[in-house]
Structure 1
Amino acid sequence: MKHVHAFTDDVLGERDAVGVARGIAAGEFTAAEATAAALARIDAVNGQLAAIAVDDRERARARAGANGFSGAFAGVPTLIKNNTDYAGLPTRQGSAAVADRPAAAHEPFTGEFLGTGVNVVAASTLPPFGLNASTEFVDREPTRNPWNTDVSAGASSGGSAALVAAGAVPIAHANDGGGSIRIPAAACGLVGLKPTRGRTAGLPASANAPIDLVSNGVVSRSVRDTAYFLADLERQRRVAGLDPVGLVQGPGARRLRVALIADSVTGQPLDTDTHRELMAAADLLEELGHRVEQVPLPVDRAYIDHFTDYWALLAFSFDRFGGKVAGPGFDRTKLDPLTRGLSRHFARRFYRLPSSIIGLKRSTAKFRRAFADYDVIVSPTLAHATPEIGYLDPAVPFGEVFDRLIRYVAFTPANNTSGTPAISVPIGRSADGMPIGIHFSADLGEERKLLELAYELEAARPFYRIQDASSGDA
């Protein structure tokens, strides 16, 4: 077990992204100096973490020197996840099957992200097509968790989470189609908010899907950074049909009705550490004056089959239509075993898809009915401790890894199918010092409620910092 971090006495120090932007604006240091510090930090840890998919340092240095940034994060060095088109960089999707061809233009979210003033220095890793809950591969080194390099960094935004947690950059892009912001945030001790569907620009490829699962966002070390990110996107574009969130700057005054979910949809019990930390979070909420009541699951067991049918459809689309989905030069022979296994799973059950889509929409209605009686739902982000590298390796026999994924990722997908917002907050710790994320869900458009609660929890139980953990082999 080894802790790895890049925090040092440079211009970035221990600042969050808002702090870095304010330092640049105040003339304490320049955007070029912030970029140079981030690149030095990446170089210091990436050999151990393997979290960079594509480097873009020369263009980043040139942009920093020109210093034409504006927005909440003007001049802040960052990463973009490598499933998102960024002009001039190849969008490799984490897969050797995708051609190494630079994107011709930014996709819509990229423009929104850059509009906050960030300076992208690299693209971060993800597992092939974002289909796994661990950033592992069959043809290259896995992305490792800086809290313990023997352990998964989560996925699919694993590279972004690993480098933010390690202090290489203060904030990074992530996106979430079944938990892919919240899972790595929980694994790496970060704040991870999945916004309401449509709050941020989505993936062009999923715009016409029967259910658009994916939301773009960020992973950050402070609630403040996530709140400023959302507010700055709102400054750029108001979303029809959703009330504005505004800039959330601290806890709310209202005491909330909280539904506690301690049972997994799979029927598997939580592990000891996860159950203990969930109950501790419930106790903390009550100490803060919120009313907590344990309730039954707001979805039934059939949800598992319905969601996995739809999840497998995504793999099938890459397997059978990769050239149209991923662009020219796609080589199907280089698909990883997990993608192939999921594709075969869908092909055997394709006739179930219409009923699964109907089932997911019914589950959405049932899930949202819970918010008639409760303001938020609290659960663990994940059903058990973050696994070691290899447990979710895509080369593990398909039936085995498929079962492991379903049991591990039992709480997050309901927010993707329903479109509701959810946040993972790092207020739990395992007996061996690893982060445990606690998960809060709210109804459509209610990100303000989640951010206010996250601020309150951050103040009541300050997030444990990797730089305070023991370093070296443990």
Structure 2
Amino acid sequence: MTEVNLERRRLMQACGAIGSVSMLGLSLNGQAATKTPGLPLSDYENWDMSAMAGMLRAGEVSPLELTDAAISRFEKNADLNVVAVNHFDMAREFAKNLSKLSISQRAKQMQNTPLLGVPFALKDLGVGLANTITTNGCQFFKDNLVEQNSTLVNRYQAAGLNIMAKLTSPEFGQTPTGESTLHGNTLNPWDKRYSSGGSSAGSAAAVAARILPSAHASDGGGSIRIPASHCGLFGLKPSRGRVASGPTNLESSMGLSVHHALTRSVRDSALLLQLTQGGEPGSRVALPNADMVAALTARPKKLKIALMDNHPFGYPIEQDSKDALNKTVKLLTDLGHIVELAQPTLPLEQMFKGMGVATSSSMLNAVQARELKLGRMAREDEFESLVWGHLQNAKKFTAQQMLNARAAFDQGGQAYAHFFNDYDLILTPVTTGPPPKIGELTLNQSYESFVRVVLKASPLCALFNMTGLPAMSMPLHWNKDGLPIGVQFAGAYGGEAGLIALASQLEQAAPWADKKPKLS
């Protein structure tokens, strides 16, 4: 069977499992009906992706109306600086052609393409949309024309999503913020003085600002979960091997980096994962497909959850993050779950050394491929200072260091596998505190000053990248200044359905859909 036929069969199986998520009786719990005067489709900001798909199927809105509504919101919120590469004209042409079909014709097509015409965008890092530019947030890649789709992009298009743009990321995703020399600073919709988190910065800001209902994101050390926490969104990082990342790189950053999305609702995340999961030809690691949509209505059993309320390197957890944890623990116990302090013993030093080796080597590999294509060497002035330093260090790494890194990741994974014999899930902070202010995590500063700040942000998330485990950030708390503070749950390898089941239960018990930033 050809690869195309395999993809078609996989999608049809997914559509059969899904049917229509909007018919499951799920909704954006507690959503206050708000209108935005002066913009197309004034109710647009109340609809998640699943709701939009249902309205398109019923003929209540057209693909072109949704596309124009999204474009108008991109333009209205231009000061957030979320767009790296604009594909508005291409998206509008796609929507115009769809809108020429009759409602019954579109509904028939949506039996196999359930998100046909829903506005969407890609992160400007590590994915390819044929004949368009992916900059990776880097000046050396500013005109990097991609020749073929990534496997994941094929799956997004097969599902019918209308890709409108590539959204901002810092240079090679090397910092948990949205600041780059090439694209400037991406701001947090909740308070523009603060970072939106990163590296999926533009995706988080666009979804939080209700420009898009959901957007693609990737996570190599917290890059889905950190912006989800800082922007009040749901962010699920899948297990290693759950979502294909090829065909160019079948394991990005030696398996550290994985792809999925940032969403406002749990059901949208489950639906997207249902539609995009599965290996691809040559995959070294692949999981059997799971019914992510069914997990939305699967009431979790009484869970035993380990609370890890400290930082791997002893940094203090700030009161905002403690408040978020305490609130979540009470919510969990009120729902009948058991929460107790516990954590595995991990080879932390070796794991984090290995992470530096893996990420820097992956970045160097991409730069060298670009040099070969251009027929010239990269220059220091085409990179931010910390990234240039990482590239020079990567040239000195040995094969033994790469093997040591992989061994340390595997040892960490073994420790968690044993730990999950006694516990169902782990609860931790996402970061040590609220979003940092713009400028604190720039890649143009000394290494020493950067490390002091970044160690507050990434290590709690990175543990689950190195071990390949699924983890999610949930928006269950806002501090006294109105900034979102997420909490993180992690599960055993391949356990996304269990995380989704708990997330759905928590979303119903403590809904967040009515929380929306006040944008000027």
Using the size of structure 1 for normalisation, the TM-score is 0.91
Query: Match of 2:93?
Result: 62
Q: Kindly tell me: are residues 454 and 208 of structure 1, through their superposed partners in 2, closer, same or farther at Cα, counting changes over 3 Å?
A: closer
Contact 2:137 2:183 in 1 (8 A): no
Query: Match of 1:18?
Result: 50
Q: Kindly tell me: are residues 298 and 455 of structure 1, through their superposed partners in 2, closer, same or farther at Cα, counting changes over 3 Å?
A: farther
SS class of match (2:185): coil
Query: Match of 2:117?
Result: 75
SS class of match (1:355): helix
Instruction: Indicate yes or no: 2:337 matched with 1:295.
Output: no
- For residues 493 and 410 of structure 2, the distance between their equivalents in structure 1, rounded to whole angstroms, comes to 15
Q: Kindly tell me: are residues 319 and 80 of structure 1, through their superposed partners in 2, closer, same or farther at Cα, counting changes over 3 Å?
A: closer
Query: Match of 1:177?
Result: 220
* Pairing 1:263-412 to 2, within 5 Å after superposition: 263-302=310-349, 303-318=351-366, 322-324=370-372, 331-333=378-380, 334-347=382-395, 350=398, 352-412=401-461
Query: Match of 2:19?
Result: none
Q: Kindly tell me: are residues 197 and 376 of structure 1, through their superposed partners in 2, closer, same or farther at Cα, counting changes over 3 Å?
A: same
The count of aligned residue pairs is 465
Instruction: Indicate yes or no: 2:29 matched with 1:29.
Output: no
> Which of residues 80, 89, 92 in structure 1 aligns to 2:135?
92
SS class of match (1:379): strand
- For residues 379 and 11 of structure 1, the distance between their equivalents in structure 2, rounded to whole angstroms, comes to 36
- For residues 247 and 460 of structure 2, the distance between their equivalents in structure 1, rounded to whole angstroms, comes to 26
SS class of match (2:146): coil
1:202-247 residue CA offsets vs partner (Å, 9 max, x unmatched): 1444426683122111110001111111222359989954252342
* Pairing 1:108-147 to 2, within 5 Å after superposition: 108-147=151-190
Contact 1:203 1:214 in 2 (8 A): no
Contact 1:261 1:297 in 2 (8 A): no
How far did residue 332 of structure 1 move?
A: 3.2
Q: Kindly tell me: are residues 433 and 58 of structure 1, through their superposed partners in 2, closer, same or farther at Cα, counting changes over 3 Å?
A: same
- For residues 451 and 460 of structure 1, the distance between their equivalents in structure 2, rounded to whole angstroms, comes to 14
How far did residue 16 of structure 1 move?
A: 0.3
Query: Match of 1:446?
Result: 495
> Which of residues 140, 156, 168 in structure 1 aligns to 2:211?
168
Q: Kindly tell me: are residues 287 and 237 of structure 1, through their superposed partners in 2, closer, same or farther at Cα, counting changes over 3 Å?
A: farther
Q: Kindly tell me: are residues 93 and 384 of structure 1, through their superposed partners in 2, closer, same or farther at Cα, counting changes over 3 Å?
A: same
Which residue identity is paired with 1:332? Answer: R
> Which of residues 249, 271, 295 in structure 2 aligns to 1:228?
271
- For residues 156 and 6 of structure 1, the distance between their equivalents in structure 2, rounded to whole angstroms, comes to 31
Q: Kindly tell me: are residues 23 and 363 of structure 1, through their superposed partners in 2, closer, same or farther at Cα, counting changes over 3 Å?
A: same
SS class of match (1:407): coil
1:146-190 residue CA offsets vs partner (Å, 9 max, x unmatched): 111111111111111100100001011111111111111111111
- For residues 162 and 316 of structure 2, the distance between their equivalents in structure 1, rounded to whole angstroms, comes to 43
Contact 2:254 2:362 in 1 (8 A): no
How far did residue 140 of structure 1 move?
A: 4.0
1:234-283 residue CA offsets vs partner (Å, 9 max, x unmatched): 59989954252342333524111101111111111111110121121111
Pick which of 453-462 and 290-299 moved more: 290-299
Pick which of 413-422 and 116-125 moved more: 413-422
SS class of match (2:259): strand
> What is the RMSD computed on CA atoms of the aligned residues?
2.6
1:373-411 residue CA offsets vs partner (Å, 9 max, x unmatched): 111111111122210000001112122113321232121
Contact 2:302 2:338 in 1 (8 A): yes
Give the gaps of 5 or more residues in structure 2: 1-33, 99-105
> Which of residues 66, 82, 95 in structure 2 aligns to 1:51?
82
Using the size of structure 2 for normalisation, the TM-score is 0.83
> Which of residues 34, 42, 45 in structure 1 aligns to 2:74?
42
Contact 2:176 2:198 in 1 (8 A): yes
